[in-house]
Amino acid sequence: MWTLALMLLAAACLFSLGVALWVICSHFFIVHIPAAIGHPVKLRVLHCIFQLLVTWTHHGICSRLCKESDSVVLAVGYRKLPKYKCPVSIRDCLAATIHFLRSLHAYGVDPARVVVCGDSLGGGLATVVCQKLVNTPDLPRIRAQILIYAILQVLDFQTPSFQQRKNIPMLCWSFTWYCLYHYLDISSSWQEVIMKGAHLPAKVWEKYRKWLGPENIPERFKSGYQQKPHEPVNEAAYLELSVVLDVMCSPLIAEDDIVSQLPEACIVSCEYDTLRDSSLLYKKRLEDLGVPVTWHHVEDGFHGVLNTIDLNFLYFPSSTRILNVLTNFIKGL
């Protein structure tokens, strides 16, 4: 009860403080991280879908990761909504990563210890970047990927976590949909259609059931879950929404020959998160294909909790636990 109350308070305060803190942090608290000889590097993809709040919520996280993991941290501030749609953010992150991999000597970075990381949308972008770089022998290979409550698929909105947490503060279904239709540049009128699974034909659901089916999710995460059949396809919706099948939007459904070549992963999921099951499904896919996975599930965590790590009275202890997981994972590589 206290967790939900604090989450509501945090949601209200974050927006009201956003503009002022963004201006202050942009002008006074941005520092340059010096190159370090032989250090590992952590390429962090900032998560926030909208431009507001990005700088001040992530500066503290990146700075602490740099210090506590003894790494060079490069934060990629890709172009965001509402001005820029998909796939602009993906192209920005991929271009920044390739440029950095070709310039490691300038930062004194060990080419064998590059880690790509992201949270929320940034986690999905980090996943796409890793997949795109699988068959690039001219570039240093990514050593590991860190995915924090990542957005990994935008096909299925009937998973247990969506049923259980669709009204949770910070990332309720209405806000999730608002971000989604802006990001994919689709009509907002399809909300009910996509919620009922009528945006894709039966043959598509059958094809991806092996990766998206609820049987892939551990039973302990299915409390109160009621599996519902997808409604017959709405052809008009399918014409516009077939973009959700693009692996740049849904990296969870990438082919086995790509996923099997991905680097070691650290996956963080949170209980109070509509996106929780995407992390669980991707974890299983990686493990089934022999990719080593370190998984940390935060029982009292919610989507975006890591951003509270430097928010004083809005701080949640689970944010520090997540940071410790990331730090220990990086040090152990």
- In whole angstroms, give the CA distance from residue 179 to residue 82: 9
Predicted pLDDT at 6? 54
Peptide linkage before 87 cis (omega within 30 of 0): yes
Whether 145 and 279 have beta carbons less than 8 Å apart is answered as no
What is the rounded average pLDDT of the residues 311-316?
88
- What DSSP string runs through 161-206? HHHHHTT-TTS-HHHHHHHHHHHHT--GGGHHHHHTTTTS-HHHHH
pLDDT tens digits, 154-166: 999 999 999 999 9
245 pLDDT more than 80: yes
Predicted pLDDT at 36? 44
Q: What is the DSSP letter of 50?
A: B
Residue 198 β-bridge partners:
none
120 catalytic residue (yes or no): yes
Look at the alpha carbons of 245, 247, 250, 255 in this order and tell me if their dihedral is positive or negative: positive
pLDDT confidence tier of residue 15, bands split at 50, 70 and 90: very low
Alpha carbons within 13 A on the beta-carbon side of 78? 31
Mean pLDDT, the chain, whole residue set: 86
Domains of the chain as residue ranges with CATH:
36-154+250-331 (3.40.50.1820), 160-243 (no CATH)
Residue 297 β-bridge partners:
269
pLDDT tens digits, 171-217: 889 999 998 999 999 999 999 999 999 999 999 999 999 999 999 99
303 catalytic residue (yes or no): yes
53 pLDDT more than 50: no
Query: Which is catalytic among the residues 161, 273, 296, 319?
Result: 273
Query: Which is catalytic among the residues 120, 161, 269, 278?
Result: 120
pLDDT tens digits, 65-92: 889 998 888 888 888 877 888 999 999 9
223 catalytic residue (yes or no): no
What is the rounded average pLDDT of the residues 301-305?
94
- In whole angstroms, give the CA distance from residue 201 to residue 244: 13
pLDDT tens digits, 88-140: 999 999 999 999 999 999 988 899 999 999 999 999 999 999 999 999 999 99
- In whole angstroms, give the CA distance from residue 20 to residue 85: 26
What is the rounded average pLDDT of the residues 36-48?
53
- In whole angstroms, give the CA distance from residue 72 to residue 70: 7
Phi then psi for residue 78, to 5 deg, are -70, 160
Query: Which is catalytic among the residues 47, 277, 303, 319?
Result: 303
